[in-house]
Structure 1
Amino acid sequence: MSRPTALWLTTALLTLTGTAQAEALEARLYKSPSCGCCSAYARQLAERGVDVEVVETHDLGGVKQAAGVPYGEGACHTIELEGYVIEGHVPFAAIDRLLEERPDIDGIGLAGMPVGTPGMPGPQQAPFEVKQFDDRRATPWMTL
């Protein structure tokens, strides 16, 4: 096998392996049984290649407390993804950054249910202030 062919095959294999790893992401999304916007978020996350398990619960407060979501930073759903907690309708650009940088934090979140975020219909009304949280404390992380 020629050196250029071997290099091409190695590059192709690494590319395919990287793609397979990206598609192998698994998430668990906790939501209220009646929340349609959370289901829409889960569908959009799945469309991005994430295997999403939806867990319906009437105890979202308990889920958030166990996950370490800071008081006042809650939203309508909580996600476990790659060892991180994603709280609410966090735009996918913020999740992409989180998974790329892999900071030493508990997770990120976008409080409330802002219009224009994934799963929430309508145009964006204001900048999305995504916060990082660690040890139950929230600090600014990314504005979209």
Structure 2
Amino acid sequence: MKRTVTRRGLLRAGATTVVLGTAGCLGSSSEDEWDIEGTLAVTNAQQYSSPGCSCCGRYASYLRDHLDTTLGETETEDVTDLKRQHGIPSDLQSCHTLVLDEYVVEGHVPVEIIATMLDEVPAIDGIALPGMPAGSPGMGGTKSDTFTVYKLGSGKTGDVYTEI
């Protein structure tokens, strides 16, 4: 059986190699583990955070270092309504929602995954890393399991964008 090599497959393999190599060298969780070279080329970046959530601020600081533009930050009392407006199903929600140009990014998604999405320009509304997983950017702790990042859009839940 002949296998076809695609750009997406090569990018996914390369990203996995970088993540595993970095994790092995560092031995513990660090936001440096999730860094990329360059910045995210977006014109609009707005983060909506849950009130009093300290990890939202840490994620915003992490993200600011990787943007071509200024990050707007808003604490909103009605995060449920905001997430509903952006079509984020309850089982994919986290503590903050990021709007980057036409895409929505829910939760502590590493910038390397956001960069891949912006590069590929998929026909989706965005991506989500549900919950607040230890070892993800802004959360601290040690990554112990695979992170599953889901696609947002079309009212569907459960379609996997990538795993890291």
Query: If the length of structure 1 is used for normalisation, what is the TM-score?
Result: 0.81
- For residues 122 and 105 of structure 1, the distance between their equivalents in structure 2, rounded to whole angstroms, comes to 30
Root-mean-square deviation (CA, aligned residues, Å) is 1.7
Q: Which amino acid aligns with 1:36?
A: S
State whether residues 75 and 88 of structure 1, in contact with CA within 8 Å, keep that contact through their aligned partners in structure 2. Answer: yes
- For residues 128 and 103 of structure 1, the distance between their equivalents in structure 2, rounded to whole angstroms, comes to 20
Q: Which amino acid aligns with 2:45?
A: A
2:22 equivalent in structure 1: none
State whether residues 71 and 136 of structure 1, in contact with CA within 8 Å, keep that contact through their aligned partners in structure 2. Answer: no
- For residues 142 and 55 of structure 2, the distance between their equivalents in structure 1, rounded to whole angstroms, comes to 15
Would you say 1:26 and 2:44 are equivalent positions? yes
CA gap of 1:40–1:21, structure 2 versus 1, over 3 A, is closer
How far apart are 1:123 and its partner, in Å?
Answer: 1.4
Would you say 1:140 and 2:160 are equivalent positions? yes
State whether residues 39 and 66 of structure 2, in contact with CA within 8 Å, keep that contact through their aligned partners in structure 1. Answer: no
CA gap of 1:20–1:100, structure 2 versus 1, over 3 A, is closer
2:61 equivalent in structure 1: 43
Runs of 4+ in 1 over 2 A off after TM superposition: 19-22
CA gap of 1:63–1:117, structure 2 versus 1, over 3 A, is same
Secondary structure of 1:51's aligned partner: coil
CA gap of 1:136–1:43, structure 2 versus 1, over 3 A, is same
Q: Percent identity over the alignment? A: 38
State whether residues 33 and 58 of structure 1, in contact with CA within 8 Å, keep that contact through their aligned partners in structure 2. Answer: yes
In structure 2, runs of 5+ residues without a counterpart are 1-37
In structure 1, runs of 5+ residues without a counterpart are 1-18
How far apart are 1:119 and its partner, in Å?
Answer: 0.3
CA gap of 1:114–1:20, structure 2 versus 1, over 3 A, is closer
Structure (1/2) with the larger strand percentage: 1
1:86 equivalent in structure 2: 105
- For residues 120 and 53 of structure 1, the distance between their equivalents in structure 2, rounded to whole angstroms, comes to 20
